[in-house]
Amino acid sequence: MTIAALIVAAGKGVRAGGSVPKQFAMLCGKPMLTHSVAALSSHPAITEVTVVIGEGQEVYTRENLGESVNFVTGGTERRDSVRAGLESLAAKGVTRVLIHDAARPFLPAAVIDALLEALDHAPGAVPVLPVADTLAHGDATLGNNVPRTGLNRIQTPQAFHFDAILAAHRVWPEHEEATDDAQMLRRAGHDVMLVPGDPMLEKITHPQDFAAAEARHAPPLVSRSATGFDVHRFEAGQELWLGGILISHDRGLSGHSDADVALHAITDALLGTIGAGDIGMHFPPSDPQWRGAASARFLEHAAALVREQGGTIDFVDLTLICEAPKIGPHREAIRASIAAILSLPVSRVSLKATTTERLGFTGRGEGMAAQAIATVRVPE
């Protein structure tokens, strides 16, 4: 038995705001169409997957789906496209075929199994879901309810004995509209079985459907917090950089880089959230290229590492510990600077300052300390 799958992807409609046909729009990191190609290709019973694309989409398809995907060019109506796909399989000894819409990208293997099993008992099978909402006639005002009993929502793929569905397409009157392939098979006098569909198979039509599908299929995120701590020594004749801002003061902090104690503490906190070591591992003081470097680079690097892992930075809280300078007058500028480096709204960056009551090295004004905590959400 040779089982083939046809994916109808000939639509010209573009996703709102985009220029790319909807079936090629990105969904969960790849063109929508490729999700159903993968689901059907990886099913052990299916030997051949053919995509029916729209006229003029050939080059685009090749560039976006690669060499491994078979495709044929469809026609103006959906029915013409399915027909073109079926005819392309006619000489290949195909015995059963699944016809699927590219707009239903998430196709559970269990639905395919149920459809193929049903084809042992009838020449056609479709997945259905019950109707949950109350149905009623009406336009501007409400008309009578429609009893839901016995009503079904029809999904794809629809599965057929190949010769039967090809024959049904070939005899279909040229100018008559066809609702779907299963109805065409019924018209030819065949039974079509119902198998349980799956809510995962919902059609993706509107821009909000893309967003909802992204959210539904996103990996679960876990919250992680990590701290960072740093100290630099005050020295006369140095510039004082705090949070990426040059502060006017009679002394500055000394260190290998610009000694921005605030950014160093936050960098370590962010690296901590993904277990990526500390700032010294990424930017060794022994490496001359970091001499005098602007510490914004270190923080940008740490933020990029978090985001490369699919992480989101939720919040950063920083405490600066010194007797002088007074931080209050610079607080908002420093917050804004840190937020800009991290590409976060200012509301997600907090800055506090404290003295140590003239105790210890900070109390004696020998140096400055900073401690930070960062909270991120990362894939589990």
- Rounded Cα distance between 118 and 196, Å, is 11
Residue 340, number of CB atoms within 10 A of its CB: 13
The one segment of 7-15, 105-113, 139-147, 227-235 that binds Mg ion by CB under 5 A: 227-235
| Nearest distance from C-beta of residue 250 to Mg ion, angstroms | 21
DSSP E strand stretches across 33-138: 46-53, 70-73, 96-101, 124-130, 135-138
Residue number, 264 or 330, with CB nearest to Mg ion: 264
Q: What does the DSSP 8-state code read for residue 346?
A: G
The one segment of 216-224, 263-271, 280-288, 310-318 that binds Mg ion by CB under 5 A: 263-271
Does residue 258 touch Mg ion according to CB under 5 A?
Answer: no
Count CA atoms within 13 Å of residue 202 on its CB side.
12
DSSP E strand stretches across 123-238: 124-130, 135-138, 142-146, 152-154, 158-161, 192-196, 221-236
Residue number, 24 or 241, with CB nearest to Mg ion: 241
| Nearest distance from C-beta of residue 216 to Mg ion, angstroms | 43
Does residue 268 touch Mg ion according to CB under 5 A?
Answer: no
Residue number, 74 or 367, with CB nearest to Mg ion: 367
Are 159 and 220 within 8 A, CB to CB? no
| Nearest distance from C-beta of residue 226 to Mg ion, angstroms | 16
- Rounded Cα distance between 143 and 137, Å, is 5
Does residue 35 touch Mg ion according to CB under 5 A?
Answer: no
Does residue 181 touch Mg ion according to CB under 5 A?
Answer: no
| Nearest distance from C-beta of residue 241 to Mg ion, angstroms | 11
Whole-angstrom CA distances from 86 to 36, 45, 56, 166, 197 are 18, 18, 20, 6, 24
In sequence order, which residues have a C-beta less than 8 Å from that of residue 191 and are 6 or more positions away? 122, 123, 124
Does residue 264 touch Mg ion according to CB under 5 A?
Answer: yes
Does residue 242 touch Mg ion according to CB under 5 A?
Answer: no
Residue number, 193 or 262, with CB nearest to Mg ion: 262
Does residue 230 touch Mg ion according to CB under 5 A?
Answer: yes
The one segment of 61-69, 93-101, 212-220, 257-265 that binds Mg ion by CB under 5 A: 257-265
Regarding beta strands 349-354 and 312-321, do their DSSP bridges make them parallel or antiparallel, or are they unpaired?
Answer: parallel
Residue number, 92 or 291, with CB nearest to Mg ion: 291
Residue number, 20 or 305, with CB nearest to Mg ion: 305
For residue 157, is the peptide bond before it cis, meaning its omega torsion is within 30 degrees of 0? yes
How big is the site for Mg ion, counted in residues (CB under 5 A)? 2
Are 27 and 17 within 8 A, CB to CB? no
Residue number, 101 or 230, with CB nearest to Mg ion: 230
Q: Which residues contact Mg ion by CB under 5 A?
A: 230, 264
